[in-house]
Amino acid sequence: MNNLSDLFGDLADQLLGTQPAPPAILVILTAAAALAVVAFPVTWRLARNGITIAHEGGHALVAVLAGRRLSGIRLHSDTSGLTVSRGRPSGPGMVFTLLAGYITPSLLGLAGAWLLSTERVSLLLWASVALLVVMLLWIRNLYGLLAVVLAGAAVFAVSWYAEPQLQAGFAYAFVWFLVIGGVRPVGELQARRWHRGSPESDADQLSRLTWVPGIIWVGIFGLVNLAALALALWLLLWPALTELTG
């Protein structure tokens, strides 16, 4: 009994306690690495699956919070996804459900940046594992199952086995990827709308529900994500640059 209490006590200390701040150069290098992954087509094509997981998870979470019945989530090898929920086909619940997708990766990244700014690397990593486990329960296709399991296994392995410095590097790279990678899909969305139309996109569905033009919704996605990126830069990159130059 005492051993079990000690185990839970150690876990609580690890989750809720703080870890030493990493060197400023690590913060800068992980930001540069995340930017490179997002910028280059080859790496983006693979890494974009992580943004899709967050995107569809955002739809699912808000659908549940809005009182809709979540039917399932599908993730596809072309990095697209689909979240199906049941309820009123219009109204605020449906609007917020559609709105959540494109802004969730950036908002998750901003929340992660705040945790890192308070030196809570372990809490960030274990919260990420918990979210992926919950999402796994709603996956309804094989590719989606594989993508979420691999993502969860990677985060779990780092959380459980890696040294603190490696955990910090992974956590910072992960957060930078979310806030930087959350911006690019908004541009890709508008490019599709310009070139060949995208009537089933979140922006166009929102337009039909609200009579607000789709380009306005794309602009809202972009502004929210750019604001999240700016705040993350202020929380993490600015202190690191100040430390190096000061």
Residue-wise pLDDT tens digits, 54-88 = 999 999 999 999 999 999 999 999 999 999 999 99
Whether 6 is in a domain gets the answer no
Residue 14, pLDDT above cutoff 80: no
- Please tell me the total count of domains within the chain: 1
Chain-wide mean pLDDT for the chain? 93
pLDDT of residue 2: 59
Contacts for 215 with CB less than 8 Å, ≥ 6 apart = 190, 193, 203
pTM of the model: 0.93
User: In the chain, pLDDT over 70 holds for what percent of residues?
Assistant: 93
Average pLDDT (95-100) is: 98
Residue 157 lies in a domain: yes
pLDDT single digits (tens) 196-215: 878 899 999 999 999 999 99
Instruction: Write the pLDDT tens digit of every residue in 176-197.
Output: 999 999 999 999 999 999 988 7
pLDDT band at 10 (very low <50, low <70, confident <90, very high): low
- CA dist 75 and 189 (Å) reads 17
State the pLDDT at residue 3: 63
Helix axis angle for 24-39 and 41-65, nearest 10°, is: 100
Q: Which domain holds residue 137?
A: 22-245
For residue 17, tell me if it sits in a domain: no
Burial of 183: CB neighbours in 10 Å, binned 0-12, 13-18, 19+:
buried
In a domain, 137, yes or no: yes
The tokens 């899709």 sit on which residue? 52
Shortest CA distance to 98 belongs to which of 58, 137, 67?
A: 58
Say what the pLDDT of residue 8 is: 55
Q: Is residue 194 part of a domain?
A: yes
- Find, among 175, 157, 50, 54, the residue nearest to 118 by Cα: 175
Better-scored residue on pLDDT, 167 or 7: 167
Q: Is residue 8 part of a domain?
A: no
Q: What are phi and psi of 141, to 5 degrees?
A: -145, 160
